[in-house]
Amino acid sequence: MKNLTRAFTVFLFYFAATALTAAEEAEPPVTARDVPNDAGGAVDITWLASPLEKEEGFQGYDVQRRAPGKEAFETIAEITPGEAVYQDKEAEDGVPYEYRVRALPAEGPPVVLGVSGAAASGQWFNTRRTNVLVGVIFVTTVIVFFIYRAKGGAELFVRKIAGLEAVDEAIGRATEMGKPILYVTGLGDASEISTIAAMTILAKVATKTAEYETPLIVPCYDPIVMMVEKEMVREAYAEVGKPDAFDEDSVFYVTTSQFGYVAAVDGIMVRERPATNFYMGAFYAESLILAETGAATGAIQIAGTDRVTQLPFFITACDYTLMGEELYAATAYLSRDPLFLGSLKGQDWSKAVIITAMVIGTALLIVSVHLGTGFAKLFETGAG
């Protein structure tokens, strides 16, 4: 009998402890908390659905807020039935607000579900984007590694690009024929990456034309681009020790009218009969007009653009075409500068790692949907 009584007592204690733990772990009816991984100014309020929702005519919920020092709650939102979450986006950082949620029955006074307090605050780092930080650190490390290797004298392999291999030949051809070189940097402004790439290639071409004293013609679509290109060409002539040979009128502004610019450049081709035409940068509907006119004059033509829709026209009408990222790689290819070469190789290796990750993810997805989606989540970033 004593053993039975003792066992019953132990059971009661265990039951009471379990019930107390469950009560402590039970979700409160209303919870307010700072929105994680945000810039501040927002609080999430969640609540348990009221049993009144089952009644006919239930109107929804009333979310109220009370600031410190205030006696009354102020309604900040009315929520439709079925919803149990609201985000207060007008909260001031560091202010401890109290939030109250009331159920609104069809008849009778509102029923208070509960009260909870929270203060909004901004976070310095969004933990849901840790993978982005890891990726940035990885890519930066790889690029810096290859830059130091290039500066140390290591031979970094860069595959041959036919269009860039032909640059010296094209300039030499114009020099032998005693004809000018036409260089067009497209219709982009100075903020476009393709225009920047085109200007850096122009600097290398101008250095060669300065050495050979070959006339260079650079008609510009944008006045800001013209100013930058004029200085770049001027510096190229000074670099080879021939600053007096630079012609101020060789780099000039035409117009910002698309087809007005094309008509002017076509007129230059017909009148001056340049032996070599370069088309580098951003091009649109005018690409084929330029390339066809240049081909009709018998010029050797080298084009480069990152506009996918214009590549077929350049490929058809030009002798050589730099496609997409080949335009960006041209500076490193022509100059062999360690900084550019190291950056190029670092980016290539980073892309190889990304492609490898895509192949691994695809293989895992084929083997198991669970494994594939789990691997893909490593690369997801939160929107908050």
How far is Cα 265 from Cα 248, in angstroms, rounded to an integer? 18
pLDDT at 11: 41
92 and 210 share one domain: no
187 and 137 share one domain: no
Q: For residue 167, give the nearest of 295, 333, 291, 282 by alpha carbon.
A: 333
- The answer to whether residues 227 and 252 touch, using CB atoms and an 8 Å cutoff, is no
- Residue 354 CB neighbour total at 10 angstroms: 13
pLDDT at 283: 93
pLDDT at 377: 84
Supply the pTM of this predicted model: 0.66
274 and 296 share one domain: yes
- The answer to whether residues 103 and 30 touch, using CB atoms and an 8 Å cutoff, is no
Domain enclosing residue 110, as ranges: 26-118
**Helices 193-212 and 167-177: crossing angle, nearest 10°?**
40
What is the full per-residue pLDDT of the chain (384 aa) written as tens digits? 444 444 444 344 444 444 434 444 567 899 999 999 888 999 999 999 998 888 888 999 999 999 998 889 999 999 999 899 999 999 999 999 999 999 999 888 999 999 999 999 998 888 888 888 998 999 999 999 989 888 888 888 877 877 778 888 889 899 999 999 999 999 998 888 889 889 988 988 999 999 998 999 999 999 999 999 999 999 999 998 998 889 989 999 999 999 999 999 999 999 999 999 999 999 998 999 999 999 999 999 999 998 889 999 999 999 999 888 788 888 777 777 788 888 888 888 888 999 999 999 999 989 888 888 888 888 887 654
78 and 136 share one domain: no
297 and 185 share one domain: yes
139 and 160 share one domain: no
pLDDT at 95: 92
Classify residue 307: in a domain, yes or no.
Answer: yes
178 and 295 share one domain: yes
- The answer to whether residues 231 and 237 touch, using CB atoms and an 8 Å cutoff, is no
220 and 86 share one domain: no
How many domains is the chain partitioned into structurally? 3
pLDDT at 26: 60
How far is Cα 39 from Cα 23, in angstroms, rounded to an integer? 34
pLDDT at 376: 85
List, in sequence order, every residue forming a beta bridge with 44; answer none if it has no partner.
33, 87
Task: Compute CA 298 distance to the chain's CA centroid, rounded to the nearest angstrom.
Answer: 41
125 CB contacts (<8 Å, ≥6 apart)? none
232 and 266 share one domain: yes
Classify residue 6: in a domain, yes or no.
Answer: no
307 and 228 share one domain: yes
How far is Cα 338 from Cα 355, in angstroms, rounded to an integer? 25
pLDDT at 331: 75
220 and 179 share one domain: yes
191 and 329 share one domain: yes
Question: Which CATH number is 222's domain given?
Answer: 3.40.50.1220
pLDDT at 345: 87
The DSSP letter of residue 67 is -
**Helices 258-272 and 287-296: crossing angle, nearest 10°?**
10
Classify residue 21: in a domain, yes or no.
Answer: no
Backbone angles phi, psi at 122, to 5 degrees: -95, 150
Classify residue 240: in a domain, yes or no.
Answer: yes
Question: Which CATH number is 113's domain given?
Answer: 2.60.40.10
The DSSP letter of residue 308 is G
